[in-house]
Amino acid sequence: MATRQTRALARTMMAPAVVLLLLWMIVPLGMTIYFSFQNYNLLNPAMQSFAGWFNYEFFVTDPAFVQSMVNTLLLVGGVLAITVIGGTLIALLLDQPMFGQGIVRILVISPFFVMPPVAALIWKNMLMHPGYGIFAHIARFFGISPIDWFAQVPLFAVILIVAWQWLPFATLILLTAMQSLSEEQLEASEMDGANAFNRFFYIILPHLARAITVVVLIQTIFLLAIFAEILVTTNGGPGYNSTNLTFLVYRTALLNYDIGGGSAGGVIAVILANIVAIFLMRAVGKNLDT
């Protein structure tokens, strides 16, 4: 059906996007790869020289490296778990008849509109502060000693903040998917005598599979790059407890100004992200083909 002419046209229409993205990928990536083989400290530019694989070796032997990988996975996994499970439950709730549904929906989606540094500042100061935060006040009201979130459970605290930001996104997509489920299917199952529990697990959840993969894919891309929330709240600590890979690259490239090491870290982060991506794409690709 597609003629040669339309194919050519299709290619022309894609060209600007592909070319621009190719440049946007190749130029920084090329420079990063180049710098990753250089001894180059921004504060000591006279010392620039060829480094071989030393920067890579130096980056992966960083005492924080292994933990930062684990933390990255925990952060992505934790936020995904909270947002997918929480998002499904909230979507299920919002799908029920109630008064003021529109307003509730506005309340629920609002966190998505808050810029990451602001979200982190609000949570760090006004909610999680061990002295004056609301959580501390609540704890003291019940006679419990307040949790010092960023010292005792730093990674979990960061996960909570990020999950709060992404919960609306998951909820919205899952809600839209849920609402596309035909009424007849549900009613038919009700006639068959399926209880709410069965209805959820045998009809609603399979229907949501596709939406869940989409949520996982999109969020993972953003979550791998989480940085602002950590910078504002814990600075990666205490110890390396909340240092993720992005933060480790930041520490190398913008605190040490070790551009060589930071570039090597950047290349490693890209490779790891793409490995994660390939796995994801496999899973998602299957779901999206149909």
Partner 1 sequence: MKNTPFLVGALTIALVGSASAQSLTIATVNNGDMIRMQELSSGFTDETGIELNWVVLEENTLRQRVTTDIATGGGQYDIMTIGNYEVPIWGRQGWLAPLDDLAEDADYNVDDLLPAIRGGLSVDGTLYAVPFYGESSMIMYRTDLLEEAGLEMPENPTWEFVAEAARAMTDRENDINGICLRGKAGWGENMALITSMANAFGGRWFDEDWNPQFDQPVWNEVLNFYVDLMNDAGPAGASSNGFNENLALFQQGRCGMWIDATVAASFVSNPDDSEVADMVGYAVAPDTGNDNRGNWLWSWNLGIPESSQQKDAAKQFLAWATSQEYTNLVAENEGWANVPPGTRTSLYENPDYIEAAPFAEITLDAINAADTVNPTVDPVPYVGGQFVAIPEFQGLGTTVGQLFSAALAGQSSVDDALSQAQSVAEREMRRGGYMN
Partner 2 sequence: MARSVRPQTKIAFTVLAWLVGLILFFPILWAILTSFKTESEAIASPPVVLPSVWTLENYFDVQARSDYFKHFFNSVLISVGSTLIGLFIGVPAAWSMAFSPTKRTKDILMWMLSTKMMPAVGVVVPIYLLFRDWQLLDTVHGLTFVLTMINLPIIIWMLYTYFREIPVDILEAARMDGAELWKEIVYVLVPMAIPGIASTLLLNVILAWNEAFWTINLTAAQAAPLTAFISSFSSPQGLFWAKLSAASTLAIAPILLLGWFSQKQLVRGLTFGAVK
Interface positions, 32-51, toward partner 1 (CB under 8 A) = 41-45, 47
Interface segment toward partner 2; rule CB under 8 A; list 48-56, 75-83, 149-157, 166-174: 166-174
Position among 14, 66, 151, 205 found at the interface with partner 2 (CB under 8 A): 14
Which position among 97, 143, 193, 206 is part of the footprint of partner 2 (CB under 8 A)? 97
Partner interacting with residue 235 (select from partner 1, partner 2, none; CB below 5-8 Å by kind): partner 1
| 167-175, 214-222, 254-262, 275-283 -> range binding partner 1 (CB under 8 A) | 254-262
Which of these segments, 18-26, 92-100, 252-260, 269-277, binds partner 1 (CB under 8 A)?
Answer: 252-260
Tokens of 235: 């600075």
Binding to partner 2 in span 216-235, by CB under 8 A: 217-218, 221, 224-225, 227-228, 232
Partner in contact with 134, chosen from partner 2, partner 1, none, beta carbon below 5 to 8 Å by kind? partner 2
Tokens of 57: 């070796």
Whose CA is closest to 241, among 148, 153, 117?
Answer: 153
Q: Which residues between 167 and 206 bind partner 1 (CB under 8 A)?
A: none
Closest to partner 2 by CB, 20 vs 66, is 20
Give the tokens for residue 228.
């602002």
CA angle centred on 91, ends 124 and 195, rounded to 5°: 135
Which single residue is written with the structure tokens 């814990």?
234
